[in-house]
């Protein structure tokens, strides 16, 4: 029995050796990617069990957008918000995110991870286990644990069957959530202490730390930059 368990673990490591799960940002203002209804950006769910009727993606980022394509990937003005994406690269088909502990740099002023609760709709499924919580605080935390032991999760599907789940089967990319910072600085997504747990369609779940993280640079707003320039000029005159 022990030999069988060891073999499963080894095969899992081999299967994921060349696989990467990418996390990256896109600018919700200057780029066309994200929710069709941006008013829902920081609403993880409408809590009506019919999210598929309300949440959809206007455009998914192509494979030329994301980690490794630029450093940083995107510049933002302070106060603008970003969408957070997850992409499977080289992972086996039908693998799902069973557990994810996201920990964003800095202190976001707002954050949301979409539940896609459609348990009362045609799909009879939702992404993450658990309820929205008292005062609607769950799925709006940083760090945030997202679990899909019973729930559908986000799956690396090669067909369009889960496109309602904010997932694009052609790029293996899903819209994970949104984040906003009111202060300037270079930010990145990262794993929290529990990391990332993937569950193959068959076999045991395994944890992989083969993650790749994009970055975004929140920069001063033009008005703030003008004030800084004026202050610098006054200092030089003195």
| Sign of the alpha-carbon torsion through 26, 111, 57, 130 | positive
Q: What is the dihedral of CA 31, 34, 39, 44, to 10 degrees?
A: -140
pTM for this one? 0.84
Residues of the chain with pLDDT under 70: 1-17, 70-72, 78-79, 207-210, 221-238
Going by C-alpha positions, the residue among 105, 31, 120 that lies closest to residue 70 is: 31
Q: What is the pLDDT of residue 208?
A: 62
Burial string for 100-109 (b: 16+ CB within 10 Å, else e) reads: bbbebbeebe
Q: Determine the Cα–Cα distance for residues 183 and 74; give it in Å rounded to an integer.
A: 16
For 117, the token pair is 């609760």
**What is the per-residue pLDDT across 171-227, written as a single tens digit (0 to 9) for each?**
999 999 999 998 888 888 888 877 888 998 887 777 665 678 888 888 875 534 333
The answer to whether 58 and 32 are in contact (CB under 8 A) is yes
Q: What is the pLDDT of residue 209?
A: 58
Q: Determine the Cα–Cα distance for residues 162 and 185; give it in Å rounded to an integer.
A: 35
Q: Determine the Cα–Cα distance for residues 28 and 166; give it in Å rounded to an integer.
A: 16
Domain positions in the chain: 2-237
SS3 58: strand
């Amino acid at each position: 029995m022990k030999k069988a368990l060891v073999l499963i673990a080894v095969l899992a490591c081999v299967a994921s050796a060349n696989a990467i799960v990418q996390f990256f940002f896109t600018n919700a203002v200057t780029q066309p990617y994200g929710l069709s209804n941006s008013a829902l950006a920081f609403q993880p769910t409408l809590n009506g069990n019919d999210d598929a009727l309300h949440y959809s993606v206007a455009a998914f980022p192509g494979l030329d957008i994301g980690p490794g394509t630029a450093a940083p990937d995107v510049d933002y003005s302070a106060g603008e918000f970003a969408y957070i994406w997850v992409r499977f690269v080289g992972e086996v088909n039908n693998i799902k995110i069973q557990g994810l502990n996201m920990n964003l740099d800095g202190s976001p002023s707002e954050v949301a991870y979409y539940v896609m609760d459609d348990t009362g709709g045609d799909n009879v499924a939702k992404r993450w286990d658990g309820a929205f919580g008292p005062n609607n605080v769950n799925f709006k935390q940083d760090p945030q644990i997202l679990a899909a032991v019973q729930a559908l999760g986000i799956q690396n599907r090669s067909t369009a069957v889960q496109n309602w789940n904010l997932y694009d089967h052609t790029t293996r990319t899903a819209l994970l959530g949104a984040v906003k910072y009111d202060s300037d600085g270079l930010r990145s997504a990262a794993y929290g202490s529990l990391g990332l747990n993937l569950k193959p369609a068959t076999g045991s779940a395994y944890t992989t730390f083969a993650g790749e993280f994009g970055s975004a640079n929140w920069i001063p707003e033009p008005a703030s930059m003008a004030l800084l320039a004026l202050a610098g000029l006054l200092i030089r005159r003195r």
